[in-house]
Amino acid sequence: MDKFRITGGRRLEGEVRASGAKNAALPILAAGLLTDRPLTLRNIPDLHDVTTMLRLLERMGVAAAAAGDGEVRVDASGLTEPVAPYELVKTMRASILVLGPLLARHGEARVSLPGGCAIGARPVNLHVSGLEAMGARIAIEGGYIHATAGRLTGARIVQDTVSVTGTENLMMAATLARGRTVIENAAREPEVVDLAACLTAMGARITGAGTDTVVVEGCERLGGCEHTVLPDRIETGTFLVAGAITRGRVRVTGTEPGHLDAVIAKLREAGARVDVGADWVEVTMKERPRAVDVRTAPHPGFPTDMQAQLAALDAVSDGVGTIIETIFENRFMHMLELRRLGADVRIEGHTAVIHGMPRLSGAPVMATDLRASASLVLAGLVAEGTTDVQRIYHIDRGYEHIEEKMRGLGADIRRMPGPAT
């Protein structure tokens, strides 16, 4: 398996362009199942999870091809096999997103219970109960969700927990249902709004996306469209923290600053200067950062996918920072790896208390999940000596060519090929 070798101590400076958002691209690719007309999608990131989703669609009989420069064409007119098999689903939890579209258009779906990274149970009950409220018959058999239905019927669905993929799955299914569907306690994330924009371009009638109540008026059929995926706010935030932690200056272009209000506020609290333009954000940090407290929350709160990056910043800060994780129950595995670099971290349940240290020391560490493992790269950028980050296939699932982008800013980071497994 490949690893990153990082020699710390370099100040990052320069400009980097944000990639398309993986968490928007995956549901939008799944939305191609709702129509027999082609979709042309742009700004699709070159990531392992995207490749897995394309393979999954192709297995179903969908023509899904990358045309280069982030463009992907999806044509589900040849859909023949409404099955998402275990060997593909096991590596990517987002594969559950094909359940609603398959059921709505094809009347049947067999989707393996999802896998992915080990940061929490992320139960599928919200997806199942919502589809059952719309008239689906669902059984869990042999590790698969087997769902059948005639035409789905609109319903009022109250999610007992805010779920991004739950909101997206039900919203997609509702576009072809008979009548009106109301999703209460809906996720408000920008990626939900982007999916709604794509569905609307396909002919869906959706209001309220970005609020906690989404209303969908069902249609007989949807058409094709062209759509450009929104920029990745988590990748943007990660590069901003990279600039701050190395006491450098980094500008991220091609992004949406309004999606990062909570992260920008914390960087300013840490002592960084943050300048914002229409489609760019620039961070400048000249002094040792001040420790900040973070409590994760659904959007527009502080994103769970950024807490690890702020933990890395706290690890070299002046003072004591507290990280409280409210979204996932097992998302502090990276903290144990930060300790190997010399971070002073104490974990108490869902809370991590971090005493900032004057310096970290390079050591071998292991990536544990997709977004959080970027914190190990950030810590390696400032650690004295050499840091080897192993199991970087986790990072490759969520960051497009992160080592090339970091090198473009002045980092000393190399991908070291490992033996095949």
Q: Is 117 a catalytic residue?
A: yes
Burial class (CB in 10 A: 0-12, 13-18, 19+), 160: exposed
Residue 351 backbone zone (phi > 0: left; psi -120 to 50: alpha; other: beta):
beta
405 vs 312: CA distance, rounded Å:
19
Residue from 117, 198, 219, 225 carrying the catalytic annotation: 117
Is-cis flag, bond preceding 300, omega within 30?
yes
In 3D space, the residue among 71, 133, 72 whose CA is nearest the CA of residue 100 turns out to be 133
Burial class (CB in 10 A: 0-12, 13-18, 19+), 341: buried
In 3D space, the residue among 17, 112, 144, 65 whose CA is nearest the CA of residue 409 turns out to be 17
27 vs 275: CA distance, rounded Å:
32
Distance of CA 271 to the CA centre of its chain: 27
Place of tokens 């989707």: 111
Angle at 249 between CA 248 and CA 253, to 5 degrees: 145
Amino acid at 394: H
Q: Which residues are catalytic?
A: 117
